[in-house]
Amino acid sequence: MIMKFPNSKIPLLFISIAVLVSCQKKPKNDKDASELDQPNMTQIEAITLLGDTLRTPPIKPGKPKDHFEAARKDYEKYPDSAEALIWYGRRSAYLRHFQKAIAIYSKGVQKFPEDARMYRHRGHRYISTRQYDEAIADLQKAADLVKDRPDQTEPDGLPNSRNIPISTLNGNIWYHLGLAYYLKGDMKNALIAYQKREVTNRYDDNLVSGGHWLFMILKRLGRDKEALAEVSKVYPDMDIIENTRYYEMCLFYKGLLKEDELKMIGDGSPSDDVYYYGLGNWNLYQTRDTVKAKRLYKKLLDHGNPYSFAYLAAEADWKLLFN
């Protein structure tokens, strides 16, 4: 995908209102598994805040497709199983068929209205499709449903190198709720959500992922001492399983890593997206070097993964600060 950065807002006005409405319109919920599985390569998955249209990609042969097919068959066999429905939605989303996933979770909301997982997963995919108000509503509903209930580990659909799930249901609800508020520029509510995520601090990975976002939020709120306090527990040689880039950015914020020590992979990896956004953001509020910040943001928006959280954040910032 080639990003274009207009010098004004005028070009964005040429986007068809009908297309925008069709993108944001919630999918019908009365489809069975066979209907939901019909590929539609002309379907719009999302329209970015900068006006780019993201379409449904084809399903390529390989393990993701095999896992998706197995999940679909499980759901067809056990249509009243919440677990089967969740995995059908998750496997669809891993293929970047987010509108399909949203439709599946919407069916889950109908079938299992008291199951917080349906709102948690649909909220995540509303974020992917830039429907932030809908995401906030779903994730807040999920938070209400898990209140005063024991937390539970969430299984990984894409296991890490040690095959150890590091996140929990409650933690993921608050993480994604905080992210949705951040993407809307609501730093006060983003801060509240991330501060309620202490339940996930069992692993060092959760300490650095939460610390990364909390640092950026507090810096934007002008609370510099509190921002540094959030990364004070990050130190060299921590046991990081998968959130290496968040970890290194936290070390950078503390002054324990230099910018030239942050090694980019250079293959459009979401890992690089974290670097580009973190550094671009840093130059906005720390060095006040807007030129360098724009250069880093543009590199991310030109070459990054349009569904990574860092990309979404850069996209929101670009529209707010540079358009």
pLDDT at 316 over 70: yes
Q: State the Cα–Cα distance between residues 174 and 190, nearest whole angstrom.
A: 9
Q: State the Cα–Cα distance between residues 65 and 322, nearest whole angstrom.
A: 39
Say what the pLDDT of residue 263 is. 81
CB 269 within 8 A of CB 307: no
From 283, 228, 267, select the one nearest 250 (Cα to Cα).
228
- Identify the DSSP state of 57: P
Q: State the Cα–Cα distance between residues 206 and 175, nearest whole angstrom.
A: 10
Each residue of 215-234: pLDDT tens digit?
A: 999 999 999 999 999 999 99
Say what the pLDDT of residue 9 is. 36
Say what the pLDDT of residue 108 is. 98
Residue type for 26, please? Answer: K
Burial 33-48, CB ≥16 within 10 A → b, else e: beebbeeeeeebbbbb
Please give the mean pLDDT across all residues of the chain. Answer: 88
Element spanning 230, H or E: helix 224-230
Q: State the Cα–Cα distance between residues 290 and 197, nearest whole angstrom.
A: 32
169 vs 200, residue with greater confidence: 169
As a whole-number percent, the residues of the chain with pLDDT over 90 amount to 79
Range with lowest mean pLDDT among 4-8, 49-53, 196-200, 230-234: 4-8
Q: What are the Cα distances from residue 164, in Å, to 31, 167, 289? A: 35, 9, 40
Say what the pLDDT of residue 222 is. 96
- State pTM to two decimals: 0.86
Say what the pLDDT of residue 265 is. 72
pLDDT at 139 over 90: yes
**Most confident segment among 17-21, 22-26, 270-274:** 270-274
Q: State the Cα–Cα distance between residues 304 and 267, nearest whole angstrom.
A: 9
